[in-house]
Amino acid sequence: MPRACLSASIAGVLDVTITVAGEAGQGIRLAGETLTRLFARDGYHLFAWPDVMSRIRGGHNLTRIRVADEPVSSVAAQTNLLLALDDHSVEAHVAEMVPDGVILAEGEGEPEGRDRAQLVRVPFTKLAEARGGAKLYASAVALGAMTALVGQPRKALDALLKATFARKGREVVKANLNCAKVGFDAVDEKFRRQCPCRVPARGGRPKLLLNGSEAVGFGALCAGVRVFAGYPMSPATGVMEYLAARQAEFGLVMEQAEDEIAAVNIALGASWAGARAMTATSGGGFALMVEGLGLAGMAELPLVIVVAQRSGPATGFPTRHEQAELLYALNAAQDEFPRFVFTPGTVEEAAYATARAFELAERFQVPAIVLTDQQLADSFTTVDEFDRTRLRVRAVVETTLTPPSPSRGRELKGGGVRLPAGRRYELTASGVSPRVRPGEPGRVVRSMGSEHDEDGHSTENAANRVRMQNKRLRKTAGMAEVFGVVEAWPDEPVRTLVACFGSTRGPVREAVAALREQGREVGMLFLPEPWPFPFVEFETRLAGCRRLVTVEQNSTGQLGRLIARATRRRPDAEILRYDGRPWRAAELVERIGEAAG
């Protein structure tokens, strides 16, 4: 295989990028997901990122699929194989093709050179109308052609098409299979063996494939979520869709509310009743939920809120990537109260963080925010296996009458067990008070958004206000003891540390690895749990570091500002991007190299 088809950092290892591009409405996303699943079933590692415009028809959409022998966690800078369903896609992406790359495009004619790439035309639409009876099957023809081009067997594609379209009826399945076959044959006969960037069948163990939104939903199910309330908003809608598809199987109560204000209050009501509850939204929806977030802080109710960041403000880029709500998540709502903020960087971490958010929110009776972003939420990646010890499935409904367990905070149970005389908002050394579910025999449960005394009665007594506020803030010490993971790679002192959060971890990790291969003394410092801030661990990692560089996807360096506020050390350099597109490792190799000096 030519070197052009290999990773720039790991010679000899297959690392191929396939870009599927065309107009919205041409089946770009489905075609991209089908190819992604084809390679995952064959045992390859991959990372697939959809780049779509906020429209139903027209425009320019694409999916980048990076397929490799070893784990990958970001998109590549160049394309090996381009599947172009319109002429605009050819012109838009020809400059990013690697030498000897192949463009598979709509049309007729003999193969020809196009800049550094080889252009091969197949009449997708014409063949779709002839074999499927409609031009909408052009994407199936294109899928068959690309499958042949990369050297995958047609039977593997057929199996995926049957599973994808089974619910649409036998005729639809048949049409897709016929069109995929004619596309496969068109390329197999005249070009397949000439393709230098093949991803041949390997018969490997199929890998689990999911995106960040699905991982969040999976983590919630493992944690025993009982109620989800939300309102659709990109890029958080995938969480709702994943859970809705499984509500009957898991006994989950789903509610698509009329707006985000209703959604957060439904979730709060469920939490007050004793159920593990969550909601998911993006920045604009989170703004509407802020008053509910404050209610969770005052009433001391556990609540998990997933905020999937996108470009803003206001509507902004609804389908684009950004990380501009870190400080907002840390400080949103009226007045001050403790909270957890998670910023997972991978699909696995998204699942673990969500499960952990439920446990810690309930243990300390505080809200927990899981901050994702468009790249993490929408990108598909492969997972070999989840660590089950970090996804312990917890019972949703406890039927046994037992004393309270540490995992449930200081919740008090009724029935056959005598209830202690503790008050709902009892002043305690830890700040965590007894929690009683409504309906317990002989108990009246009071919760409110107004300031209250230990029994939950509203009061405007000044001294009581100070006592209760101090009580709530005392939770922070205990929260900090169990929170604040910092991932350092490599685990050794280095001259330059590159700090990041969220899905920026992937390209930063790959860029740091490439720089270290060049002999540069650099390392990555990733913060998946930025609040409460991990003061001790972070400052320990900074010891001996001469230069601190931050890589972020916002315009003001929010992570750098947080670090400066927490440690009084300002970054020596900030690498920022805010054009709605994610970083690529190749871009960061140059930028980090310059910043490291």
pLDDT tens-digit series, residues 228-282? 999 999 999 999 999 999 999 999 999 999 999 999 999 999 999 999 999 999 9
pLDDT tens-digit series, residues 517-542? 999 999 999 999 999 999 999 999 99
Q: Is the pLDDT of residue 374 over 50?
A: yes
For residue 92, what is the enclosing H or E element? helix 87-93
User: Does the 487-596 domain belong in CATH 3.30.565.10?
Assistant: no
Instruction: Tell me the mean pLDDT in the region 338-351.
Output: 98
pLDDT of residue 589: 97
Q: Is the pLDDT of residue 398 over 80?
A: no
pLDDT of residue 597: 85
pLDDT of residue 522: 97
% of the chain beyond a pLDDT of 90: 78
Q: What's the mean per-residue pLDDT of the chain?
A: 90
Q: Is the pLDDT of residue 416 over 70?
A: no
pLDDT tens-digit series, residues 158-173? 999 999 999 999 999 9
CB-based contact 213:239 (threshold 8 Å) = yes
Q: Is the pLDDT of residue 415 over 60?
A: no
CB-based contact 381:46 (threshold 8 Å) = yes
For residue 370, what is the enclosing H or E element? strand 367-373
Q: Is the pLDDT of residue 38 over 50?
A: yes
Q: Is the pLDDT of residue 437 over 50?
A: yes
Q: Is the pLDDT of residue 24 over 90?
A: no
pLDDT of residue 393: 53
pLDDT of residue 12: 53
- Whole-structure pTM over 0.85, yes or no? yes
**Banded pLDDT at 460 (limits 50, 70, 90):** very high
pLDDT tens-digit series, residues 102-159? 999 999 888 788 888 889 999 999 999 999 999 999 999 999 999 999 999 999 999 9
**Banded pLDDT at 422 (limits 50, 70, 90):** low
For residues 192 and 591, the model is more confident at 591
Q: Is the pLDDT of residue 357 over 90?
A: yes
Q: Is the pLDDT of residue 445 over 70?
A: yes
What fold, for 3-206? Pyruvate-ferredoxin Oxidoreductase; domain 3 (3.40.920)
Q: Is the pLDDT of residue 441 over 70?
A: yes
The candidate with the shortest Cα–Cα distance to 63, out of 504, 375, 509, 347, is 375
Q: What are phi and psi of 81, to 5 degrees?
A: -130, 130
pLDDT of residue 194: 66
Q: What are phi and psi of 169, to 5 degrees?
A: 105, 160
Q: Is the pLDDT of residue 413 over 50?
A: no
Instruction: Tell me the mean pLDDT in the region 465-479.
Output: 97
The candidate with the shortest Cα–Cα distance to 380, out of 207, 144, 245, 247, is 207
Give CA 50 to chain center in angstroms.
Answer: 13
Helix (H, G, I), strand (E, B) or coil at 364: helix
Q: What spatial distance separates the first Cα and last Cα of the chain, rounded to whole Å?
A: 36
In angstroms, rounded to a whole number, what is the distance separating the alpha carbons of residues 223 and 276? 8
pLDDT tens-digit series, residues 270-304? 999 999 999 999 999 999 999 999 999 999 999 99
Name 382's bridge partners: 209
pLDDT tens-digit series, residues 543-588? 889 999 999 999 999 999 999 999 999 999 999 999 999 999 999 9
Instruction: Tell me the mean pLDDT in the region 325-342.
Output: 96
Q: Is the pLDDT of residue 367 over 90?
A: yes
pLDDT of residue 59: 81
pLDDT of residue 8: 36
Task: Give one DSSP letter per residue of 470-518, joined into a string.
Answer: HHHHTHHHHHHHH----EEESSS--SEEEEE-GGGHHHHHHHHHHHHHT
pLDDT of residue 408: 46
Q: Is the pLDDT of residue 192 over 70?
A: no
What is the residue extent of each domain of the chain? 3-206, 210-390, 398-478, 487-596
**Banded pLDDT at 511 (limits 50, 70, 90):** very high
Q: Which two tokens stand for residue 165?
A: 């379209």
Instruction: Tell me the mean pLDDT in the region 360-385.
Output: 96
Give CA 572 to chain center in angstroms.
Answer: 29
335 exposure class (CB count in 10 Å sphere: 0-12, 13-18, 19+):
exposed
| Neighbouring residues of 590: CB distance < 8 A, sequence distance ≥ 6 | none
In angstroms, rounded to a whole number, what is the distance separating the alpha carbons of residues 237 and 263? 13
pLDDT tens-digit series, residues 87-102? 999 999 999 999 989 9
**Banded pLDDT at 446 (limits 50, 70, 90):** confident
Name 211's bridge partners: 380
Q: Is the pLDDT of residue 494 over 80?
A: yes
Q: Which two tokens stand for residue 363?
A: 């243990």
Length, in residues, of the chain: 597
Strands of the sheet with 227-230, listed across from one edge: 253-256, 227-230, 277-281, 303-309, 367-373, 340-342
Q: Which two tokens stand for residue 521?
A: 């003394």
Scanning 529-568, the segments in alpha helix (DSSP H) are 535-542, 558-567
Half-sphere exposure of 575 (CA within 13 A, CB side): 26
Helix (H, G, I), strand (E, B) or coil at 550: strand
Q: Which listed CATH number (3.30.450.20, 2.60.40.420, 3.40.50.620, 3.40.50.970) goes with 210-390?
A: 3.40.50.970
Two domains, one topology: 210-390 and 487-596: yes
Q: What are phi and psi of 60, to 5 degrees?
A: -125, 115
Instruction: Tell me the mean pLDDT in the region 463-492.
Output: 96
For residues 25 and 23, the model is more confident at 23
29 exposure class (CB count in 10 Å sphere: 0-12, 13-18, 19+):
middle
